[in-house]
Amino acid sequence: MEPAALALLDVSSNADQLGVVLLAQESIDSTGVTIDNLVLAARQRSLAIFTMPVVSWEPMASVPLTHSAGNLPVPLPPGDGGATLLQVPTVHLSPIKPLPLLKQYISNVNTEGASILADFSLPFGLRAHVQVVNLKKQRGKFQLNQPIFSNACVGGLQLTMTPPWPWRENASFPGYTLVIPPYLHRLQPISVDNLPSPLATGWLI
């Protein structure tokens, strides 16, 4: 995923505090931003859904280590790891709104085998990147999980994603995990390309 150019977060309960990111591109024309049926829309490959960090990091302190010992000091994290980002990059046109975009993501993944890109925080200063294609063919799940109540209450939107072949003992998502450097922007998707090479090779886990 590209770095974020513009982020819009719904702070009400109407979209369960999901937001939409318009990813930075070489030119605004490449995003495909247009008006479709009186709604601002863009190509899905130019959009991503985001929300707040999925975990809160515990206070941590890095013990200084010498490079001669073969270890790298762990930088203090800048916060809780930044936003959780989700993208299904296709050329389909989508409203720049979180709920319609999320529903299109689910449809594209389950009917077309579209690839999934996800960046999210893990405990203890870790950041994960997942990239998987044809998840449904590999028996993985990518679907909404919304609780149902007997009264008038409506459960919040939750997304369930299980790894390929989830019953296997070593089931996992393809991707990588790294320690987030303190200088990365909170809405910048994490990639080895974002890091200087000595740190990238030292922080991959």
Q: What is the pLDDT of residue 202?
A: 27
Q: 73 lies in a domain? A: no
**In the 8-state DSSP scheme, what is residue 123?**
T
Token pair listed for 23: 């990813």
Average pLDDT, integer, range 185-205: 38
Number of domains in the chain: 1
Q: 51 lies in a domain? A: yes
Q: 69 lies in a domain? A: no
Q: 170 lies in a domain? A: yes
pLDDT in tens, 5-47: 688 887 777 778 889 988 866 455 566 788 888 888 888 988 9
Query: If 0-12 CB within 10 Å is exposed, 13-18 middle and 19+ buried, where does residue 143 land?
Result: middle
Q: Is the pLDDT of residue 74 over 70?
A: no
Average pLDDT, integer, range 93-112: 92
pTM of the predicted protein model: 0.75
Q: 66 lies in a domain? A: no
- Residue-wise DSSP of 129-170: EEEESSTGGGT--EEE---B-SSS-BPPP-EEE--SSTTSTT
Q: 65 lies in a domain? A: no
The percent of residues in the chain predicted with pLDDT above 90, rounded, is 27
Q: Is the pLDDT of residue 140 over 90?
A: yes
Q: 67 lies in a domain? A: no
Full domain range(s) for residue 144: 4-60+79-203
Q: 17 lies in a domain? A: yes
Q: Which helix or strand (DSSP H or E) is residue 47 part of?
A: strand 47-51
Q: What is the pLDDT of residue 70?
A: 57
Q: What is the pLDDT of residue 185?
A: 42
Confidence category of residue 132, pLDDT binned at 50, 70, 90: very high
The percent of residues in the chain predicted with pLDDT above 70, rounded, is 68
